[in-house]
């Protein structure tokens, strides 16, 4: 069955211009983790292992060894969402949207 589309009006922007809905963390999602030392550098990829609320999660941080983390930093708990990756860490952000 063909997908039904609504007619475009002057008040309805085309789909490409509509704002994206806010993301919500869930178990298994990939995020960027910043320590105090990495805040302005490349982040560590991390997987969400527990969600406390929309801004606070537990993580399992992936480390390739090029910038080793202390073992205590590989599974941080109750990590807060950073408003921007240049904010002081530790914290997490959503990866940038890539088309």
- Per residue in 15-68, pLDDT (tens digit) is 555 555 689 999 999 999 988 765 557 889 999 999 999 999 999 999 877 777
Please tell me which residue, 87 or 54, carries the higher pLDDT value: 54
Cβ-contact 72, 59 below 8 angstroms? no
Number of domains in the chain: 1
pLDDT at 72: 78
Considering the domain boundaries, does residue 70 fall inside one? yes
Considering the domain boundaries, does residue 13 fall inside one? no
Q: Which residue range is the domain that position 37 belongs to?
A: 26-93
CB contact set of 45 (below 8 Å; sequence gap of 6+)? 30, 31, 32, 33, 61, 62
Q: Is the peptide bond before 90 cis (omega within 30 degrees of 0)?
A: yes
Considering the domain boundaries, does residue 31 fall inside one? yes
Considering the domain boundaries, does residue 82 fall inside one? yes
Considering the domain boundaries, does residue 19 fall inside one? no
Considering the domain boundaries, does residue 2 fall inside one? no
Considering the domain boundaries, does residue 8 fall inside one? no
pLDDT at 18: 52
pLDDT at 41: 72
């Amino acid at each position: 069955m063909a997908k039904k589309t609504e007619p475009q009006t002057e008040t309805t922007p085309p789909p490409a211009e509509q704002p994206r809905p806010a993301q919500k963390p869930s178990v298994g999602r990939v995020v960027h983790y910043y320590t105090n030392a990495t805040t302005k550098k490349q982040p560590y990829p991390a997987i969400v292992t527990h969600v406390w609320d929309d801004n606070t999660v537990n993580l399992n941080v992936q480390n390739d060894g090029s910038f080793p983390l202390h073992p205590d930093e590989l599974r941080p708990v109750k990590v807060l969402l950073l408003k921007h990756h240049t904010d002081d860490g530790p914290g997490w952000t959503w990866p940038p949207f890539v088309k």
